[in-house]
Chain A
Amino acid sequence: MKKKPLIMLAAASALSISIAAQAKTLVYCSEGSPEGFNPSLYTAGTTFDASSRALFNRLVEFERGGTNIVPALAESWTVSDDGLEYTFNLRKGVKFHTTGSFTPSRDMNADDVVFSFKRQGDADHPYHKVSGGAYEYFNGMSMPDLLKDVVKVDDMTVKFVLNRPEAPMIANLGMDFASIMSAEHADQMMAAGTPEKVDLEPVGTGPFQLVAYQKDAVIRYKAHPDYWAGKAAIDDLVFAITIDPAVRYQKLKAGECHVMPYPNPADIEAMRNDPDLNLLEQEGLNVGYLAYNSMMAPFDNPKVRKALNMAINKDAIIDGVFQGAGKVAKNPIPPTIWSYNDATEDDGYDPAAAKAMLEEAGVSGLSTKIWAMPVQRPYNPNARRMAELIQADWAAVGVEAEIVSFEWGEYLKRSKAEDRDGAVLLGWTGDNGDPDNFLAVLLGCDGVGGSNRAQWCHQPFEDLIQKAKVTSDPAERTSLYEQAQLVFKEQAPWATIAHSVVFMPVRKEVKDYLIDPFGGHIFYGVDLVE
């Protein structure tokens, strides 16, 4: 029987949980197992919580609890006038973790940055193929097309050269896949003939370092003593993997953990009233929508789409599906993103008017399909139930809808088809807090037959977002995106349903926990006070 190698560091610190009362241990009841510990190889938020957000840093990062970019491993940066060259000045004196099998001999420098990006972007890099070599986020953010080269200017300066100007570039570098790893560790492991250990026994610069991982059960971390921004207030961090939300809540109540993500909407009320808990809440950076197929009659008529939108009782959905943990959406981007246009007017619930509009458009006896995804997502806790409610609403205006569902992978694939029959429930969680990440990806002409599930290519809208993409003046971009939202609303390719509200119940003794708008769970800066 082969056992997974455990990274036993100075075991004393881990054992101290039971021995020294002073050591502060924060237990987080996480919702699932990480796929691994190298964030560039995977795409799941659960993996990022366990890897990039605890173990690693990026050149730039998002301000804790916000979407603003702040310096991290890069102290400052400059952008060339043509928008094609980004030069970063690295922070000095940043220490990597010392683990059982690796002791860093130098501080973080330009080699580490070049290594971290070349591994993902350069097919000939010796590490490119290690651990499966699929860098889905790097690919998903179009980095291979965008990034011409990453150059070491000197030990403390790195230059990124792009193929075309891209306004959201800096925000992209704050994403999890752009985490910086140790080139020295990689060289040592390559020399030892065990390159895959780089991903199993991660060495980063982050606030915590990995102590041990017991698959599907527990992940243990300890604070990185030489963390560049100062040692974390807690000494040990434990992820207790607990899949069932009701069970997580029980553990939280029993004091077996301090923080839990994704509570059952049904338990929110009880959590709010529990004197031992603080219930934190914040609107999530997401949108749940119902996308019509705007290429198929009669849904190619904006009037029909609008009428159907008006037939949906969104308040009932917020009650029945989100149990109140959501807000009705009127724009395709969430209110926490800059350029959110509060002036747009939602299609109000009015079945009578909807019926009249359908008749006016010459549509009667319409029967269609509602696609409900088979999985729970942050923007939609129960698609099936949502579909049932919409089905009943539409029946009231004489539209007959059949609910269909497929296995998740199949659902994602089939819903892309341009000749898809019916309206599809889906949603999106923002990656980098840039409106482009919603509007261009989900509604741009390039996305037709792909991530644009409404198959909607509307030139006035397209012109606005393309212009915004290459404009670097924030005020001008804001105004362009605001106009785009108005065009969207008038054309109604989607029924915008809801932005979920993220709830985080934490125990009273937890201080300074902030909800991450990107859906991450970050424990640097958190303290425990009796």
Chain B
Amino acid sequence: MTKPLSPTDTSHGPDAGSTSPPGPFKEFWNYFCENRGALAGLIVFIMICLMAVFAAWIAPHSPSEQYRDSFLVPPFWSDGGTTRFILGTDAVGRDIFSRLIYGARYSLIIGGIVVSLSLTVGIPLGLIAGFARGVTEIIIMRAMDIMLALPSLLLAVVIVAILGPGLFNAMLAISIVYLPHLVRLTRAAAITELSKDYVTASRVSGAGILRLMFITILPNCMAPLIVQATLSFSSAILDAAALGFLGMGAQPPTPEWGTMLAEAREFVLRAWWVVTFPGLAILITVLALNLLGDGLRDALDPKLKRQ
């Protein structure tokens, strides 16, 4: 957890600096822990991460092994269920519990890649727009406006249609769709910071444009970006699942949760377990991330801190 937050340490450096006695990270951590929801979210999220990393050891079965004698076995507590398949099996006899565990990997990968992709493209674009002003700014911001005018899921569907259905293309599409918000946010933060004294000071002392952008200003815009990143992480999981559900995300037999749900749709009335569990897994993961994001925002946002 400490890694992504380190920039905030420095954020207090120039203005607040050494006057705050407990140290910025400790202060943040105290605020964060006060929020029990956020803590719960963090714990669940860590559990999901562990599940993803150690899937091979935790999962009782291989996610792709088809037990030809056990099609659509219900969960163990239902009639006809067996403890061999705790949450039952799907239409070709694969263990749902194991698939869900492996599915955690995909969700984390999706969230991670989407966030890093959109950050690596969005932050520089936003900074450029904030620094350059004039024509460059207008072009960048107009382009973002155009993208914002298209409903995000629709835009993502069209991009996937261009690139072809598949997990990676879905992630790419979602990253593109998330750009406008990120660019706007970075630009707004950069413009606010640009007018501050410390920036003028560093400019006067001869700092280059790149240094100004990435070393002087960026760390000070980090707080809203971190919050946005956490929230994008959870939205990415939801949107990838929606694309999977429309048949445009990960392709079966990938145990991605949205794709599992799409495959299970025909069993809505006959085998509730193949429909219920993947959806529940999505809900829990996204909920945990959102709790975490809320906690981060409250802890990082000085305005709410004072209350």
Chain A residues engaging chain B, CB cutoff 8 angstroms: 244-246, 249-250, 264-267, 269-270, 313, 316, 319-320, 323, 374, 384-385, 388-389, 392, 405-407
Contact = CB atoms under 8 A, between A and B. Distances in A.
A388 B252 contact: yes
Contacts of B263: 385
Interface string B270-288: 1100000000000000000
B92 A270 contact: no
B245 to A, nearest CB: 12
B252 A267 contact: no
Interface string B50-68: 0000000000000000101
Contact of A384 (B93, B164, B251): B251
A313 B93 CA distance: 15
Contacts of B266: 245-246, 264-267
B251 A246 contact: no
Interface string B65-92: 0101001100000000000000000011
Given A269-B270, A320-B91, A384 B252 contact: yes
Given A245-B266, A269-B270, A384-B252, A374 B92 contact: no
A266 B247 contact: no
Nearest to B253: A388
A393 B3 CA distance: 47
Given A264-B266, A320-B68, A405-B251, 19 more contacts: A246-B265, A246-B266, A246-B269, A264-B267, A265-B266, A266-B72, A266-B266, A266-B271, A267-B269, A267-B270, A319-B71, A320-B66, A374-B247, A388-B92, A388-B253, A389-B66, A389-B92, A405-B165, A407-B165
7 contacts: A245-B266, A266-B266, A266-B271, A320-B66, A320-B91, A384-B252, A385-B92
Q: Interface size class for chain B? A: 20 to 34
Contacts of B71: 319-320
Contact of B269 (A270, A316, A319, A388): A270
B268 interface: yes
Contacts of B91: 266, 320, 323, 385
A119 to B, nearest CB: 35
| 6 nearest CB pairs, A to B | A264-B266, A266-B270, A246-B268, A320-B92, A266-B267, A384-B252
Given A266-B91, A316-B68, A385 B252 contact: yes
A405 B66 CA distance: 21
A498 B71 CA distance: 19
Nearest to A250: B269
A270 B252 contact: no
Given A385-B91, A388-B92, A389-B92, A407 B267 contact: no
Interface in B74-132: 91-93
Contacts of B161: 407
Nearest to A264: B266
Nearest to B275: A246
Contacts of B270: 264, 266-267, 269-270
Contacts of A267: 266, 269-270
A175 to B, nearest CB: 31
A244 B247 CA distance: 14
A100 B66 CA distance: 60
Nearest to B161: A407
A374 B164 CA distance: 11
A257 to B, nearest CB: 16
A71 to B, nearest CB: 42
A388 B90 CA distance: 13
A266 B269 CA distance: 8
Contacts of B267: 264, 266
Nearest to A375: B247
Contacts of B265: 244, 246
Contacts of A265: 266
A56 B266 CA distance: 34
B93 A320 contact: yes
Contacts of B93: 320
B281 to A, nearest CB: 21
B269 A407 contact: no
Contacts of B269: 246, 249-250, 264, 266-267, 270
B167 to A, nearest CB: 13
> In this complex, which of B164, B247, B266, B268 has the most chain A Cβ atoms within 10 angstroms of its Cβ?
B266
Contacts of A319: 71
A285 B251 CA distance: 30
A319 B89 CA distance: 14
B41 to A, nearest CB: 33
A250 B269 CA distance: 9
B248 to A, nearest CB: 10
A269 B71 CA distance: 14
Q: Which of A244, A266, A267: most chain B CB closer than 10 A?
A: A266
Interface in B255-305: 263, 265-271
Contacts of B247: 374
Contacts of A250: 269
Interface string B146-165: 00000000000000010011
Contacts of B72: 266
A388 B266 CA distance: 18
Nearest to A319: B71
Contacts of A266: 72, 91, 266-267, 269-271
A384 B268 CA distance: 19
| Residue from B68, B247, B269 having most chain A Cβ neighbours under 10 A | B269
A267 B164 CA distance: 32
Contacts of A385: 91-92, 252, 263
Contacts of A313: 68
Contacts of A384: 251-253
A445 B93 CA distance: 41
Contacts of A407: 161, 164-165
Contacts of B253: 384, 388
Contacts of A246: 265-266, 268-269
A246 B165 CA distance: 25
A244 B266 CA distance: 9
A265 B270 CA distance: 10
A287 B263 CA distance: 23
Nearest to B94: A388
Contacts of A244: 265
A530 B19 CA distance: 86
A316 to B, nearest CB: 5
A440 to B, nearest CB: 34
A320 B267 CA distance: 13
A264 B271 CA distance: 12
B255 to A, nearest CB: 12
A322 to B, nearest CB: 11
Contacts of A264: 266-267, 269-270
A250 B161 CA distance: 32
A385 B66 CA distance: 11
A406 B251 CA distance: 11
Nearest to A404: B251
A425 to B, nearest CB: 14
A316 B268 CA distance: 22
A248 B181 CA distance: 40
Nearest to A392: B66
